[in-house]
Structure 1
Amino acid sequence: MRMLMVAAAAMLLVGCAGSAMNQARTQAPYKTLTSDKPEQVVAQCVQFSWQDEAVFGVDAGAYLQPAQKGGTTVYTRSAESFVDVQGSATGTALSYYAQHDDFVAKRRLAALATCL
């Protein structure tokens, strides 16, 4: 029973984050970047860098999920910040979105940039 409740809560979070991400994608990304590294390597690096409690404190959660149009999305709680990571034969394109243009968004962007 307890496991079922945890799974239901996780699905609810993904649903809420998904609608916020879809709405953000209707606008231009906060920043667009590219990398020569493979998509999965970049996505895992971003997830790891966003989970650094020394930098982001108790709000250091980052999650991976397959993107709707291929690729991978790395996102934070409530999708306050997320990045779509799309690989191709020539490299990897990253579209970074942030709900607010604040210190935390800039810090997450700086952490993301270390993965390029």
Structure 2
Amino acid sequence: MRKVVVGALVLAMLGGCAGSKMNTARAGTPYKTLASDKAALVVAQCIQFGWQDESVFGVDAGGFKEPTEAGGFTVYTTGGDYFVDVRTAGAGSTINYFAAQDDMPAKRRLAALATCL
């Protein structure tokens, strides 16, 4: 029981760190802005699934999805270094992709999310 509580506390602390990192990134310009004719939920679920592919991302495979206060969804990686905000735009959606740096992992995650458009 104690291990479960400690594990939950560690995840909550990591989530807080990732959240502040993502809020800082949102104050800047997205790495890439994309659009889709698909609904925001469909796009977000597809991105989440794609980012969890261990054959592509190895041990860094991780995709978590949360609803946003402004409507839509955020899909993010464990440390929050890569994340997308998916928002409804008319009948489709707008996707803002944020990456900590312009590197190969950022490009791989962009390629994976592009298949969801």
Specify the TM-score bucket, using the shorter chain as the normaliser: over 0.9
1:41 counterpart residue number:
42
1:63 counterpart residue number:
64
1:82 counterpart residue number:
83
Per the normalisation by structure 1, the TM-score is 0.95
Structure 1 Cα separation of the partners of residues 6 and 52 of structure 2:
24
Give ranges in structure 1 of 5+ residues lacking alignment.
none
> Which runs of structure 1 show a deviation greater than 2 angstroms over 4 or more consecutive aligned residues?
none
Note the aligned Cα RMSD (angstroms).
Answer: 1.0
Alignment of 1:1-116 (within 5 A): 1-116=2-117
What one-letter code is carried by the residue in structure 1 that aligns with 2:60? D
Structure 2 Cα separation of the partners of residues 2 and 65 of structure 1:
25
Structure 2 Cα separation of the partners of residues 68 and 7 of structure 1:
23
- Look up the SS of the partner of 1:64 in the other structure: strand
Per-residue CA deviation, residues 36-57 of structure 1 (Å, 9 max, x unaligned), is 1111111010001001111101
What one-letter code is carried by the residue in structure 2 that aligns with 1:34? A
Per-residue CA deviation, residues 38-91 of structure 1 (Å, 9 max, x unaligned), is 111110100010011111011101111122322110000211100000013331
What one-letter code is carried by the residue in structure 2 that aligns with 1:57? G
- Look up the SS of the partner of 1:45 in the other structure: helix
Structure 2 Cα separation of the partners of residues 69 and 12 of structure 1:
23
What one-letter code is carried by the residue in structure 2 that aligns with 1:41? V
What one-letter code is carried by the residue in structure 2 that aligns with 1:91? G
